[in-house]
Structure 1
Amino acid sequence: MLDNNEITGVSRRGVLRGSMVLAGAGLVAATTTGQASAQAPAEGSAPGFFHGVASGDPLPDRVIIWTRITPSGDALPGSGVGQVVSLSWQVATDSEFTNVVRSGTASTGPDADHTVKVDVTGLRAGTGYFYRFTALGLTSPVGRTRTAAAEDADLTALRFGVVSCSNWEAGYFASYRHLAERDDLDAIVHLGDYIYEYGPHEYGGRDGSPRLHDPAHPIVSLADYRIRHAQYKTDPDLMALHAKVPFIVTWDDHESADNSYLGGAANHDPATEGDWGARKAASTQAYFEWMPVRVNGTGSEPALYRRFRFGNLVELSMLDLRTYRDEPASAGAGWRTVDSPDRTITGREQMEWLTGGIVTSPTQWKLVGNPVMIAPVVFPPLDRNTTAAVTELVGLPDDGVPFSTDQWDGYSADRRRLFDSITGNGVRNTVFLTGDIHTSWASDLPVDAANYPGSGTVGTELVVPSVNSTNIDEMLGVPPRTATVLAEEAIKTTNRHVRYVELDSHGYTVFEVNKQGAQMDWFYISDPADPNATSRHAISYRVADGTQQVHPVAAPLDPAGYHPGAGA
């Protein structure tokens, strides 16, 4: 008999490590990849807009526009020095700015790390705009953005790029470049791990790569986080994408520290890195300074979870699954801890906000920007009606042994609360868009995993690969599509609701919602270590209206067949 405390939780990437175990029989000789990469361009000593421009959080009548001005050679990110600067900004309907529709001034200085964020109001719904900033006799690059459709618009289609997990040291950001080359996206949904907090060579870097993290140590202070955000904003592919399309973002854990939760993080040592609350506050401040995001709430604790409406077609709820969660189950905690109704991943207020929004939304589709995987991934799922004695004897939760208690699997009571709200109110067309685990998945969300498909489904989940963060083949040191194929088949066999899983490839996705269904296309890049990496369409899955199930489709979405705003 297994003692209840002998089955212990694992980190958020336990699903990856568990897959390595399943893949063990297929191990082959290790191969070394990763070519030297060029360092991002350094800032000059003269004033300039060295970090580009960005926009985000589109609403029907407003959008955030952002930049950073470097007024002098010593006023670098995180320096805390430099003059206060007055900037002018303009929003126009044309790239030549002959028809300026909104303009104004803003000031910034060391208190905001010389970043500027303007919530431009009074705009037309479902409309494309151009924007720019001027200061100190200089003009920023021109950015493009778009407002959301009016809430009463009979929108027929909406198309997003969806990404997650970009690590400076793991190679280049070719996924961002390929998305920036498209002209068929209304927005980019970034599901977290926009930056990584580790020092050089500490996590998922490539041998010989000169793309090393700055500062050259794990980031802890406000200055550290500012410097790291600034470094990522100098990547030319990320800069190009920010200048092309508005972003809708949330954070996962690496924006603060790996496996973070309400009271700490696995990658935080109070003895050497100080108080967790101070570190979390520093990461939060830098994030809101450097990202084109609107703060939700007016209290002392700014809230990141928020909701976006696109006509009568889509409502998108972006979650924060790090700030309010209880500590993930750890060694010795026991699986009854995982199943405890007192444990939460969302926090009570966010759960009420989420369920209330989903069950009352008047839109056809309910999308959830979900930083960590919600589909149960367990070994084995046991039928609670016929094996209750077994599950009680060995101390397994009803839903089986999860690969990773850092995901919703580690907070199963919260997941049941959410799923019960959806099914109890007869809600259809709920799709979770998920990042975090660096791999690609398409799953039905079963009411009861052990009785799938007979128990029915709550919704569906589509998980995006990492932009470039380390995957199974790289952890094992084997060629792609060798050892991991065994793991993928084992996962699908054990978890029948998982219809697609791919554990090796990096890339991005394009996701469209229309009145007939929702479709995600997965695109994989040839090599993260290659700054000129190519992209290929790998697979597509579609959820037909009202079905709550994913099915493969042969053809990807046509880039030429959709134009932003054309569906309004």
Structure 2
Amino acid sequence: MTPYDQISRRTAVTAVAATTTAALLPLATAPAAHARPAVPAPAAAPAAGTTAATGFLHGVASGDPLPDGVLLWTRVTPAPEAVPGSGLGPDVEVRWQVAEDAAFARVVAHGTATASAATDHTVKADVRGLRPATGYHFRFTAGGVTSPAARTRTAPAHGAATTGVRFGVVSCANWEAGHFSAYRHLAGRRDLDAVLHLGDYIYEYGTGTYPAAKYVVRPHSPAHEIVSLADYRVRHGRYKTDPDLQALHQAHPTVAIWDDHEFANDAWSGGAENHTPGAEGDWAARMAAAKQAYFEWMPVRPSVEGTTYRRLRFGKLADLHLMDLRSFRSQQVKGGAVDDPERTITGRAQLDWLKAGLASSDTTWRLVGNSVMISPVAFGALPAHLLEPLTKLLGLPTGGVPISTDQWDGYTDDRRELLTHLADRAIRNTVFLTGDIHMAWANDVPRTAATYPISPSVATEFVVTSVTSDNLDDLLHVPPHTVSLAAATAIKAANRHVKWLDMDSHGYGVLDITAEHAQMDYYVLSDKRDPKATSSWSRSYRTRTGTQRVERVKTPVG
């Protein structure tokens, strides 16, 4: 049995955080800084396997920007033995500063927090009292050591007539499958308001499981599949030593949601595809451990019931509705059971929350951070040599079926209810932003796919490819854009609402939002296995306001 047979799906291609919020001092009244400040180079990360020194070895980060504030994050190593997941090391006071300038001559907020083993020596400061749409610098100090300085940016005021916002968009970063050059290229941009991470920030597998051992670029830590709280902490800690990931967090605030691999493959509310209760313990305990580590290690505010569904606003231009499609979903099924109205991908409370938020929004655009694809996909007639690897990636029978049941295709009643809500309420300019499937897509989202385009499109969807996680050419071990072209042609022929897909590349997206359009620029890497991989623009698609349709654009945004 191959590793691909052992794992039924490769992310659809294939507990509350304990933190200390510091007290704030009043904001100084210096003029707002409109220029986006430069970012110092990240501090060098310790090499894998080396003994930890003390200090800020895992970088600094910010996230969830608000008009008056932002969440700051770091992890302190107060003693050599206080490595992630160890439970060792003394408490240490951590001071933080937010300034208008890179030299920290104009400090506008500061405070203290305590890093302790109880939170794996991570700390957060939920800073408020800042000015809207303003770039700031921040840093931490502890035990006489100062962290790297970083930049962040607040969101526009809720009522501001914002001319534009721009986000980097990423998902699916498997440590073993390659290097995080996509993060480095996004870190180098100075035109982003934030970076959206749409899930699979970490992967839970043991080393050599995915990809197979002979294709591993760099090994996981710990080497075994992560199950316990200590395991998840160690894995998060390993990720945060990556220099490109550190650079990304130093350059831009992050807005993140989780998908399945922050827990286990094909996770649902009561289990996961690769969770065996007898061997790996109680699922609820494992999920609670994964969530605790996630909120400790990520610059994310927990919301309702300790989940990641929440809402951010960027002036009068866009609401961003962020989904949790793992905590409440029913178990994946096959065949006609996908239509069962008792089954759910969102849970009743979250679906009602999303529908109410979309209906009441007074912004130009309604963005939905959506970890798995909502657009329906039928395979049509694929050549046998392509059908088999695609069904392995998607976890489907090799005979072929019309859906991937881990996506919204496996929960058709929830999708029908949501799309009917958009249509019946005439809710315009809804854009789903999606990761998970390790391919790039640009889709109309029809109310009834079988009769599209007679049945209208009620939304659009932009799906970004993976940072490193395997896609079709990786599975087949062939050059990109060779044998996959036949598969892409067949999928588009069977799904007229799919306007474009790239089944082979790795990279990231840049989403540009103005009153006139929502445009996704797709960028691809030269080689995910090369730590110095270059990046190039591939394609651009946009939806113009009021159209609910995607169209190709010949150039990326400036």
What's the TM-score once normalised by structure 1's chain length? Answer: 0.87
Q: Percent of pairs identical after alignment?
A: 57
Letter of the 2:491 partner, please give it.
Answer: I
Q: Is the 8 A contact 2:377 2:402 kept in 1?
A: yes
Shift of 1:401: 4.9
2:104 paired residue among 94, 97, 103: 97
The answer for the alignment partner of 2:429 in structure 1 is 429
Q: Is the 8 A contact 2:403 2:410 kept in 1?
A: no
Superposition pairs of residues 68-87 of structure 1, within 5 angstroms: 68-87=75-94
Letter of the 2:248 partner, please give it.
Answer: L
Shift of 1:42: 5.2
SS at match of 2:411: helix
The answer for the alignment partner of 1:321 in structure 2 is 325
| 5+ residue gaps, structure 2 | 1-6, 15-44, 382-399
Query: Residue by residue, what CA displacement relative to the aligned partner does 1:116-175 show, whole Å, maximum 9, x if unpaired?
Result: 111001111111111011110000010100111000000111100000000100010010
Letter of the 1:82 partner, please give it.
Answer: G
Say yes or no: does 1:129 pair with 2:136. yes
Shift of 1:205: 5.3
Higher relative contact order (CA 8 A, sep 6+): 1
Shift of 1:352: 0.5
The answer for the alignment partner of 2:389 in structure 1 is none
**Distance (Å, rounded) in 1 between the aligned partners of 2:47 and 2:439:** 27
Say yes or no: does 1:403 pair with 2:403. yes
The answer for the alignment partner of 1:368 in structure 2 is 368
Change (3 A) 1:171 1:45: closer
Pairs aligned (count): 504
SS at match of 1:179: helix
**Distance (Å, rounded) in 1 between the aligned partners of 2:95 and 2:209:** 41
Q: Is the 8 A contact 2:428 2:459 kept in 1?
A: yes
1:310 paired residue among 296, 308, 314: 314
Query: Residue by residue, what CA displacement relative to the aligned partner does 1:37-89 show, whole Å, maximum 9, x if unpaired?
Result: x9945565442100010000001111100000000011100000110111111
Letter of the 1:127 partner, please give it.
Answer: T
Query: Residue by residue, what CA displacement relative to the aligned partner does 1:241-291 show, whole Å, maximum 9, x if unpaired?
Result: 100000000000000000000000001111111110110000000000000
Q: Is the 8 A contact 1:12 1:404 kept in 2?
A: no
Change (3 A) 1:308 1:370: same
The answer for the alignment partner of 1:29 in structure 2 is none
The answer for the alignment partner of 1:276 in structure 2 is 283
2:161 paired residue among 132, 141, 154: 154
The answer for the alignment partner of 1:533 in structure 2 is 533
Two-structure CA RMSD over aligned residues (Å): 1.7
| 5+ residue gaps, structure 1 | 1-9, 18-37, 382-399, 559-568
Q: Is the 8 A contact 2:309 2:324 kept in 1?
A: yes
**Distance (Å, rounded) in 2 between the aligned partners of 1:115 and 1:306:** 22
Letter of the 1:161 partner, please give it.
Answer: G
Letter of the 1:329 partner, please give it.
Answer: V
Say yes or no: does 1:203 pair with 2:210. yes
SS at match of 2:423: helix
SS at match of 2:306: coil
The answer for the alignment partner of 2:115 in structure 1 is 108
Change (3 A) 1:554 1:59: same
2:125 paired residue among 114, 118, 127: 118
Say yes or no: does 1:250 pair with 2:257. yes
Superposition pairs of residues 443-522 of structure 1, within 5 angstroms: 443-522=443-522
SS at match of 1:419: helix
Shift of 1:14: 8.9
Q: Is the 8 A contact 1:14 1:404 kept in 2?
A: no
**Distance (Å, rounded) in 1 between the aligned partners of 2:117 and 2:203:** 23
**Distance (Å, rounded) in 1 between the aligned partners of 2:249 and 2:12:** 31
Q: Is the 8 A contact 2:177 2:215 kept in 1?
A: no
Q: Is the 8 A contact 2:311 2:320 kept in 1?
A: yes
Letter of the 1:83 partner, please give it.
Answer: P
Q: Is the 8 A contact 1:12 1:437 kept in 2?
A: no
The answer for the alignment partner of 1:31 in structure 2 is none
Letter of the 1:408 partner, please give it.
Answer: W
SS at match of 1:260: coil
Say yes or no: does 1:217 pair with 2:221. no
**Distance (Å, rounded) in 1 between the aligned partners of 2:187 and 2:141:** 24
**Distance (Å, rounded) in 2 between the aligned partners of 1:139 and 1:460:** 45
Shift of 1:216: 1.0
The answer for the alignment partner of 2:200 in structure 1 is 193
The answer for the alignment partner of 1:390 in structure 2 is none
Q: Is the 8 A contact 1:149 1:311 kept in 2?
A: yes
Q: Is the 8 A contact 1:131 1:142 kept in 2?
A: yes
Q: Is the 8 A contact 1:174 1:237 kept in 2?
A: yes
Change (3 A) 1:268 1:492: same
Q: Is the 8 A contact 1:58 1:246 kept in 2?
A: yes
SS at match of 1:207: helix
Letter of the 1:305 partner, please give it.
Answer: Y
Say yes or no: does 1:543 pair with 2:550. no
SS at match of 1:369: strand
Letter of the 2:100 partner, please give it.
Answer: T
